[in-house]
Structure formats: C-alpha cells, structure tokens
Amino acid sequence: MKPLFDFLVKFIILSVILWGVIYWGATRYPVDTGSVFTAWIMVALNSLTGYLLFEYALDKESKVFTLVVFGGLALRLLVIMALVLVINLLGMVKSIDFVISFISFYCIYLVVEVLAYQKKNELKKNAARN
C-alpha cells in the first residue's frame, strides 16, 4: 500500500502548491476561481480513478490488466469529454478560465500519474528479484 500512499502524498502536495499559485495569481489577474475549481476537481477525480484502476489491475493477468487500464482510460475520457461539453453548454463556468485550467491540470496530473505507475512497476520488479 506504500505506493498508493506516496501517490496520495505527492498528489496533495502538488494540489496545495497549485492552489497557492492560483490564489496568488487571482490577486493580480481576474480569474474565476469557481471555473478553476471545477476543472481541478474533474481532473483530480480522473487522475485518482486512473491510479486506483492501475493499482487494482497490476497483479491481474494480462488480459484483465489491459481491459481495466485501457478500457478505464477510454471510459474516463468519454465521461470527462461529456462533462466538459455539458458544463460549457450550460454556461456553468467561465469558458476560457475553465479550459485553460482544465488543460493545465490535466497535463500536470498526468505526469504525476505516469510517474506513480513507473514507481509501482519498479517496486514490483525489485520485489520479484529478491
């Protein structure tokens, strides 16, 4: 369970840093923090779900792993795209702040997620050697 804990700690630290930067920027530039928060919560839940699916599927057979990880990726992408569309069509957010925040958060959290995958695989390989 240690890799999950490490992922969550890095995730929380990164979120605190990002929100510090956002609030610092909001004092200097007009930013709709509600739109930014909506983008952040969507990306954060997407990233957490992706990592938990990976954790679940890692020790499964290859067919199950592929189905869970890549099927989960496709399903998560469809859900996110639908939510972005609905949120923008209903005018629930300021579109430019939402889209820029969404893309930024997505890229940043994707890197954290991939690094966590690599670390988990590395730990699994080291355990197999010993």
pTM reported for the whole predicted model:
0.85
**Average pLDDT over the chain, rounded to whole?**
88
pLDDT (tens digit per residue) in 85-95:
999 999 999 98
Q: What is the dihedral of CA 81, 29, 16, 101, to 10 degrees?
A: 10
> Does pLDDT of 30 surpass 60?
yes
Give the chain's length. 130
pLDDT (tens digit per residue) in 40-69:
999 999 999 999 999 899 888 989 999 999
Residue 5 is predicted with a pLDDT of 81
Residue 130 is predicted with a pLDDT of 67
Residue 1 is predicted with a pLDDT of 55
What six digits make up the tokens of 107?
């890229």
Residue by residue, what is the 3-state secondary structure of the chain?
A: CHHHHHHHHHHHHHHHHHHHHHHHHHHHCCCCHHHHHHHHHHHHHHHHHHHHHHHHHCCCCHHHHHHHHHHHHHHHHHHHHHHHHHHHHCCCCCHHHHHHHHHHHHHHHHHHHHHHHHHHHHHHHHHHHC
> What is the average per-residue pLDDT within 109-121?
86
Residue 115 is predicted with a pLDDT of 86
